Amino acid sequence: MLNEKCDAIVKYLNIEFPESYIEQANIRDEQYFKIPIEKGLLLLKVNREFIEDNSIEDILSEFNKQNIYTLLHENPKLGVFINQKGPSLFERSSKL
C-alpha cells in the first residue's frame, strides 16, 4: 500500500510539474521526491507515518489544501517537509 501511495504522490507531482522527471527515494522514515526544474532542484520530503496513516485521497487533499506546489516554488533553496502537523521548511543537505 505504501508503494501505491508514493506512486499517487509522484502522479500528483507530475501533474504539477509536467516538464520534470520525479525521482523518489526512501531514506530512514521519510520518502524523498526530487523535482528537477529549469532553475535547479526542488525537494519534497514526506514522513512515512503521514503516508501510512492517510488514504491516497487524504494525502492529495492535504497537498492541495496546503498548496505544496507554491511552497516548493517559493522556497527553491529549501526543502518542504510534510508530516502529521502539516508542511514545514527545512535546510537541504549538500548530498541531495
Residue 34 vs residues 16, 24, 48, 76: alpha-carbon distances, Å = 13, 6, 16, 11
Q: State the Cα–Cα distance between residues 55 and 67, nearest whole angstrom.
A: 18
What proportion of the chain, given as a percentage, has pLDDT over 90? 82
- DSSP code of residue 55: -
| Pair type for strands 40-47 and 78-83 | parallel
Identity of the residue numbered 91:
E
29-75 tens-digit pLDDT? 899 999 999 888 999 999 999 999 999 999 999 999 999 999 999 99
pTM, entire model: 0.91
SS3 70: helix
pLDDT of residue 13: 96
